[in-house]
Amino acid sequence: MMDGATPDLTPKVFKLFQEYINENCGIYIDDYRADALRVSLWIRMRDLGYSDYIAYLSFLRDGKKGDDEFKELLNLITINETCFFRNPNQFAALAKYVIPEIIKRKKKTDRTIRIWSAGCSTGEEPYSIAMVLLDRLPDAKSWRIDILGTDVSRQALSRAQRGCYGERTMREMDEAYIKRYFKQNDLGEYCLSDKIKKMVSFGYHNLIKEPYPFLIMGGWDIIFCRNVTIYFRLPSVKRVVDNFYQSLNEGGYLFIGHAESLYQISDSFVPIELDSAFVYKKMPGKDVKEIKDVEEVKEVKDIEEVKEKKTGIKKKKPKTVEPEEEEKLFNEARLLFKEEDFEQAKVMLLNVLKLNPENHHARLLLGQVYANENLYDAAANEASKVLKADPLSVPAHFLLGVVCQKQERTDEAVKEFKRVVYLDSDFALGHLNLANIYRSQHLDKKALREYNNAVRSLVAKPHGDWLDFAGGFLSEVLVEVCRRNIGQIKKS
């Protein structure tokens, strides 16, 4: 008989479960989640009659019964919070660019569209995809549409198959979709129409288990895997992304979380900017080609990498250096920058970049030095170099926005600051700079929204990455500035 008290999970035993979970599904449980893991373990142990963590771990390792139990445990430790049309800019890119391009390419061949939502949780994502696809494909009946949602949580998949949702998950949903595809039941839930439910199938799949069955997991036109690999360690992420690449058709697209990046994970995909969203494309023959006749699209790719692939001639790699020496120089440069000794900071940062040209932190700080010296073209050049390597670098987009603002290229500044807050909604200075621009343009409604967003971000993350650009101002001061501006706008 087990009592109600949950025994302590010692650091040693936590480490054993941490490694076992990581090896078997790729999820890495950080130390700060130890208590949540302890509760999840105890719930399963209680249900099975175990009182000892090690005995339960031995059961998990015991063949098929252990595998089945591990799936039950995953139901408790995976996070299933999501909503329909989460990150609307990505769905706008899907509707405006990606689906029309695939339709154009395939309507004269097999008229088949296959989309995989990996880590689909309770189904909102694949169902959102289905709605967008129906909008863009009026003759859907003449096509073979295959939308698959997979997850490691059996409970989440069961909820997805049921297709009924609470009001919270509808918060990003266009009212037209709700009227067209949902009906409320007696419990107040929003239940999907059979028309949408029949377009999507669901199944259990563990992204870490290899190889991916080709007949089921291969030949996809689009793969969504958003905010899933953030729980994986780097080797697991690289393996999963490589499997995605192998599973996509040539010309296929990968959508990842809006704050995720494939920088230093995979150079197989070509990152492409579609309005305010980034997607990754598997280029035919790995050649960089423009994807569309539909709308203007900006490709983001280091031209030297393209040359390497075409000629086979690789750029010389920088010599390896001791990380301690590089870090020491960079820290000295940061201190000089804070003391406003920009000339000496610049000398130090150029030395860092001689040691390691790919030190993006040094390059961005050098860009700030140039900006403080009013050398705006040089500052923009440093930011652009970072963005070639990592198109989703929030600090680089912010620095570019600041440069555009200083050069009175206001429209371009707004675009960069919008990218900043899209990629990181808690980057407070992105909201603040947008608010200041809108206020100068007498767009008071937009200014109020961004000042309020800035306050929210400053309170939520008073010590965020934005501090590097704050010029020594603390969050409390900036909150007060925002609130004063909000008050002045409301009075006017």
Three-state secondary structure readout of the chain: CCCCCCCCCCHHHHHHHHHHHHHHHCECCCHHHHHHHHHHHHHHHHHHCCCCHHHHHHHHCCHHHHHHHHHHHHHHHCCCCCCCCCCHHHHHHHHHHHHHHHHHHHCCCCCEEEEEEECCCCCHHHHHHHHHHHHHCCCHHHCEEEEEEEECCHHHHHHHHHCEECHHHHCCCCHHHHHHHEEECCCCCEEECHHHHCCEEEEECCCCCCCCCHHHHCCEEEEEECCCHHHECHHHHHHHHHHHHHHEEEEEEEEECCCCCCCCCCCCCEEEEECCEEEEECCHHHCCCCCCCCCCCEECCCHHHHHHHHHCCCCCCCCCCCHHHHHHHHHHHHHHHHCCCHHHHHHHHHHHHHHCCCCHHHHHHHHHHHHHCCCHHHHHHHHHHHHHHCCCCHHHHHHHHHHHHHCCCHHHHHHHHHHHHHHCCCCHHHHHHHHHHHHHCCCHHHHHHHHHHHHHHHHHCCCCHHHHHCCCCCHHHHHHHHHHHHHHHHHC
Distance of CA 473 to the CA centre of its chain: 29
CB 387 within 8 Å of CB 367: no
Which homologous superfamily is 323-491 in? Tetratricopeptide repeat domain (1.25.40.10)
What is the CA angle 232-393-372, rounded to 5?
145
The yes-or-no verdict on residue 146 having pLDDT over 50 is yes
pLDDT in tens, 349-399: 999 999 899 899 999 999 999 988 888 899 999 999 999 888 888 999 999
When the candidates are 3.40.50.720, 3.90.550.10, 3.40.50.150, 3.30.365.10, the CATH number that belongs to 88-310 is 3.40.50.150
pLDDT in tens, 410-463: 999 999 999 998 888 888 999 999 998 998 888 999 999 999 999 998 888 887
Give the pLDDT score at 310.
40
The yes-or-no verdict on residue 259 having pLDDT over 70 is no
The yes-or-no verdict on residue 489 having pLDDT over 60 is yes
Q: Nearest Cα to 273, choosing from 102, 128, 390, 426?
A: 390
Q: Does the global pTM surpass 0.85?
A: no
Task: Give the mean model confidence (pLDDT) for residues 288-308.
Answer: 38
pLDDT top residue among 155 and 212: 155
> Worst-scoring range by mean pLDDT, 3-12, 244-253, 416-425?
3-12
> Worst-scoring range by mean pLDDT, 44-48, 66-70, 210-214, 484-488?
210-214
CA distance 345 to 447: 35
HSE-CB of 297 using CA atoms within 13 angstroms: 27
Give the pLDDT score at 26.
77
Task: Give the mean model confidence (pLDDT) for residues 113-122.
Answer: 92
Question: Locate tokens 């600051």: which residue?
Answer: 417
CB 14 within 8 Å of CB 34: yes
Domain locations along the chain: 11-77, 88-310, 323-491
Q: How far is CA 438 from CA 179, 430, 445, 453, 464, in A?
A: 34, 12, 9, 13, 24
Confidence tier at 292 by pLDDT (50, 70, 90): very low
The yes-or-no verdict on residue 136 having pLDDT over 90 is yes
> Worst-scoring range by mean pLDDT, 6-20, 48-62, 288-302?
288-302
> Worst-scoring range by mean pLDDT, 246-250, 316-320, 427-431, 458-462?
316-320
Q: How far is CA 394 from CA 84, 230, 364, 451, in A?
A: 25, 17, 11, 19
pLDDT in tens, 231-240: 677 888 888 9
CB 271 within 8 Å of CB 262: yes
Residue type, 144: R
What is the CA angle 415-278-291, rounded to 5?
105
CB 269 within 8 Å of CB 245: yes
Q: Nearest Cα to 76, choosing from 49, 45, 44?
A: 44
CA distance 6 to 173: 41
> Going by CATH, does the domain composed of 11-77 fall within 3.40.1710?
no
Give the pLDDT score at 216.
54
Token code pair at residue 481: 């500035």
CA distance 469 to 461: 14
Give the pLDDT score at 306.
37
The yes-or-no verdict on residue 56 having pLDDT over 60 is yes
Question: Locate tokens 């390792």: which residue?
Answer: 61
Q: Nearest Cα to 78, choosing from 129, 24, 115?
A: 24
- Write down the mean pLDDT value for the chain: 83
Give the pLDDT score at 98.
97
The yes-or-no verdict on residue 101 having pLDDT over 90 is yes
What is the number of other CB atoms lying within 10 angstroms of the CB of residue 59?
A: 17
Q: Rounded to the nearest 5°, which phi and psi values hold at 308? A: -60, -45
The yes-or-no verdict on residue 1 having pLDDT over 70 is no
The yes-or-no verdict on residue 108 having pLDDT over 60 is yes
Highest mean pLDDT among 119-128, 270-279, 416-425: 119-128
CA distance 370 to 379: 5
Share of the chain above pLDDT 70, in %: 86
CA distance 372 to 19: 47
Give the pLDDT score at 416.
93
CA distance 226 to 83: 12
